[in-house]
Amino acid sequence: ESRWGFGVARESVERKRFSYWTPEGGIWAVRYCYGDFVSLTSHRTFLPQSPLPSRVWVCL
């Protein structure tokens, strides 16, 4: 079973200490784990699994 995550961080995020992956902590992230796609927000949000994503586009 594959597990992965990706995110985008604010420049001000402390990278040398543990930080919660939440927008409030300066990180917007998504993970895939045990068959579920989850938006890592203060309240975990399960995302639709269909269609399966094949690429990610980040527009800043």
pLDDT in the model for residue 18: 67
At position 7, the amino acid (one-letter code) is G
HEC string of 7-39 equals EEECCCCCCCCCCCCCHHHCEEEEEEECCEEEE
Within a domain: 8 = yes
pLDDT in the model for residue 14: 78
| Sign of torsion over alpha carbons 21, 27, 33, 38 | positive
Q: How many domains does the chain have?
A: 1
Give pLDDT, residue 44. 83
pLDDT in tens, 32-54: 988 889 998 888 889 888 887 78
Residues ≥6 apart with Cβ < 8 Å to 35 = 1, 49
Model pLDDT, residue 1: 65
Judge whether 53 lies within some domain: no
54 in any annotated domain:
no
Classify residue 60: in a domain, yes or no.
no
